[in-house]
Structures are given as structure tokens and as C-alpha cells.
Amino acid sequence: MDISTYDYKLDNGIDLHVISTKKFKTIHFNIFFHRALNKDTATLNALLPRVMKRGCQGFRDTIQIERFLEDIYGADFDADVLKKGERQIIGFRLDIVHPKYTGDDALIDKGLSFLNDIISKPLTIDEGFNQDYVEQEKQNLKDLIEGLINDKAQYAVERCIQEMCKGEPFATYVYGSTDALPGINAHNLYEYYKDVVASSPVDIFILGDVEPDAIRDKAEAIFNWPRGTVKRIPKEIIKKAITEPKEVVERMDVLQGKLSLGLRTNTAPDDTDYPILMLYASILGGGPHSKLFLNVREKASLAYYAYARLEKYKGLMIISSGIEIENYKKALDIMLEQLDEMKRGIISSQELDFSKKALTTSLRSIMDSPQQLTDYYLSNAILKKHSTIDQLIESINAAEMNQVVKIAQRINLDTIYFLANKAMKGAERI
């Protein structure tokens, strides 16, 4: 697919990225505000976009917003917060149909102006946000945070990360904590909003069949809110020595055990051998071709699921599995055996080839999704890289077995977390 990218710096310091492609019949706008992740502000960052998307000066409630979106041919709008490494990213998204299919040449301007209104002209009352909106969204956020426990697989992964990264910003949940909610009100949230808009690094992405310089001119004219000194986002600490893995067992009323392993890869996302780490993770637990799937699930029949995924920006890898509680020791031993085998170079050429093909297919599928494409180039912006998907695929396919083994040898187990039932007696492996 033919993709061209153009990067601009607006007069107020905002970074504009235009991704020009004719593949889609839509145009996609994304605006990202970057904040350092920490427990003191995480809940504010999670709550803020939820309140802001409820209304602004030009569109005072969700009914008026929905009417506007219908008027511009069923546009889709949302706002939320992301966690990428030790940064929280407040994001606003608008997807519109391309003007050439509607005959409305002002459609792009209308979309950009709407986003600008949501961001720079919030609905305020007496130097604060709308109190009703704030209280309603605090309750919604509380329900969301408390609801994590209902997804036991995701809960176990999150708890593993919290135990592994105690004392590090990355231990903070993407949506913050319910403990912080009572202290947030319409006035202090608005004061925090002003700091976010004035001091956050900001990236604007516009993807679609557009003329880059014309889009830059529109963005320059519309997104011209005043800015102050931009705060720097601290770089994550990736490398950490592990003397002895910690083992944590949490008991709850569950029928199925959730076993998660947290590992330090000691590989940063901007390292030249990061593509090799991606290949390693695929061989270990990236699908039905992987060691975890074949050995833990298929051969030993010890897991309902077992996979490995990378926490790219923090240099972590998480192994997640669902097992019968009484199979804890057996399943854990086989998982550790797979890690050890990879360190010792027990990897077949078939495993290597299947993983390369799986990653190639997965990466090529990014090109079919505007949102995934935007996320890929957001990663480039965070890392200050300019690599294309094709270049990444080329690096993966050029990898050799000895490079994968070298990566494996610097991966260290940090934390073993097991969610068991209350009846389980003793979870110790030794």
C-alpha cells in the first residue's frame, strides 16, 4: 500500500503528522496529549477526556454533539486515555467520510473545528467544568476501575504488572484509582485541564487521501490555542537486574486459575534488535505455532489459553494463561522449561519460519486499519523514529537463529503471579 508521511511543527509547538494514503474512503483525525504516568495524576488524566467529550461551548451536551455528527454524514467521535510505557496519553478521535463522496468541500474544516472546540472551548461554569458532568463521569470511571476484577484474565495481568513494577510509575493502572476520585471536583479538574492543554507534548495525526500542505495550513489556522513551556516526559528505565523472582499468590472465588509471568526483556523499543525480540515473543507465545500453545495447551493439556505479549515501551514481556488450579506447579514448570529451552537455543527452523510468517501477516494487517496505522506512527513519534511497516517486516525476516538466542539469554523472570481460589492449599513450587 502506498503511504507517504509528512511531519510539521505548528507555530505553537504542536507536532502535526499527515499520513497520506488513498486506501480508505474516510479521513481520520487523532489528537494526543502526552502526560507522565504517575499515581498522583493518573485518575485526573483518565477522567478529563470523559468530561470534555460530554460537551463544549458550541455543543453543550451529547445530544447536540450527536446531531452534529449525524449532520456530517455519521461521523464517529470518541475520547479516552492510553498507557504507553510510563506515559498516559489523552486522545481525541474523529472519523469522517471523505468529502469527495459527499460533495461537501467544507467537511474537513468542520471536523477540525469541532475537535478544536471540544479541546480549546470546554463547557465551563464559574471557572470550573459542568459539575453534573464531572460527578456522572466520576461514577462511570469508578465503575470501570472496579469492573476490572470481573475480567479475571486481564485482572491477573494487571496485578502481575503491579507486583513486578512496585515503586515504578508503570505499576499505575491506566485509569488511575478509585481512591483519588473523591478529591476531584469541577474546579480542580478544570485547573488541571488548563495545564494539560498548555504544557503537554501534543501530536496531531491526520490520515487519509489528503493534500499534506493544505492540511497543515488548516491545522495551523484552527489549532492555534496558546501554549506555555512544554513538559518533558521522562524516559523509562528498561534494564533491571533480578536476583530472585518473586512469587505472589492471590486468592479469590474463582473456578479457573490465572497464571501470569512477568519478565524483563532488557530491550528498549528503539534498540536495533527490538524486531528480534518481537520474533522471540512470537516463537514463545504468539499463536498456535508457539511453544506455549503447543507444549502447555496442546501436548500437556494444562491450559485453556497461554500466550506471551510485549509491553513495548517498558521492556517487559507478560505470559498469561488460564489453568486448572491444581495444575499450577505442572503448568509453571513447563512454561519455565520453554524459557530455558530458548536460552539454550532449542528452537526449530520451523518455529522460526512460522513465527516470521505470523508476524508478517499481523504487521501487514495494520495497513488495513486506520486506527492501527495511526497507532504505529504514534509509536514512531514517541520514539522519534521513521521506520515503515515494510522495513520492520524486512528486519524480522532477516533475523537469524543465533540472534533470537542472544535475545533470549538476556530475558529474566521477575514475577510469578497466580490467581487461585480460597480452597487452594499451598501454591509453592518448592
Shared-domain flag, residues 311 and 368: yes
For the cut 60, the answer to whether the pLDDT of residue 430 exceeds it is no
429 within a domain of the structure (yes/no): no
Shared-domain flag, residues 92 and 161: yes
Measured on CA atoms in the order 322, 325, 329, 330, is the torsion positive or negative? negative
Q: CA nearest 199: which of 12, 2, 58, 359?
A: 12
Whole-Å CA distances, 210 to 110, 155, 377: 15, 42, 17
Shared-domain flag, residues 283 and 371: yes
Torsion angle (degrees, nearest 10) of CA 253, 160, 177, 78: -100
Give me the CATH number covering residue 270.
3.30.830.10
Shared-domain flag, residues 399 and 323: yes
| DSSP strands (E only) in 84-152 | 87-97
Q: Using only the alpha carbons of the chain, give its radius of gyration.
A: 23
Shared-domain flag, residues 167 and 296: no
233 within a domain of the structure (yes/no): no
State mean pLDDT over 178-195.
Answer: 98
Tally of domains in the chain: 2
pLDDT at 57: 96
Shared-domain flag, residues 173 and 262: no
If you average pLDDT over every residue of the chain, what do you get?
Answer: 96
Local confidence band at 428 (pLDDT 50, 70, 90 cut-offs): very low
236 within a domain of the structure (yes/no): no
Q: CA nearest 194: which of 136, 112, 128, 116?
A: 128
Element (H, E) at 375: helix 370-383
pLDDT tens-place string over residues 62-91: 999 999 999 999 999 999 999 999 999 999
pLDDT at 422: 80
CB distance 266 to 412 below 8 Å: yes
CB distance 200 to 48 below 8 Å: no
The conformation of residue 355, written as its DSSP 8-state character, comes to: H
Shared-domain flag, residues 283 and 185: no
Give the range of the structural domain holding residue 33, as residue numbers without chain letter: 4-223
235 within a domain of the structure (yes/no): no
Local confidence band at 2 (pLDDT 50, 70, 90 cut-offs): confident
Whole-Å CA distances, 299 to 288, 330, 331, 340, 358: 12, 13, 11, 18, 21
Q: Choose the final residue of a domain: 223, 254, 269.
A: 223
pLDDT at 99: 97
pLDDT tens-place string over residues 138-157: 999 999 999 999 999 999 99
Using DSSP, state whether 309 is helix, strand or coil: strand
For the cut 50, the answer to whether the pLDDT of residue 412 exceeds it is yes
Give the whole-number percent of the chain exceeding pLDDT 90. Answer: 97
Helices (H) and strands (E) in the chain, counts: 14, 11
Shared-domain flag, residues 107 and 255: no
Shared-domain flag, residues 376 and 291: yes
The conformation of residue 143, written as its DSSP 8-state character, comes to: H
Our measurement of the distance from residue 412's CA atom to the centroid of its chain's CA atoms, rounded to an integer in Å, reads 23
For the cut 90, the answer to whether the pLDDT of residue 92 exceeds it is yes
Length of the chain: 430
The C-alpha cell 496505522 sits at 373
Q: Choose the final residue of a domain: 174, 189, 223.
A: 223
- Strand pairing partners for 207? 19, 28
Shared-domain flag, residues 385 and 285: yes
Shared-domain flag, residues 396 and 342: yes
239 within a domain of the structure (yes/no): no
CB distance 307 to 285 below 8 Å: yes
Shared-domain flag, residues 165 and 256: no
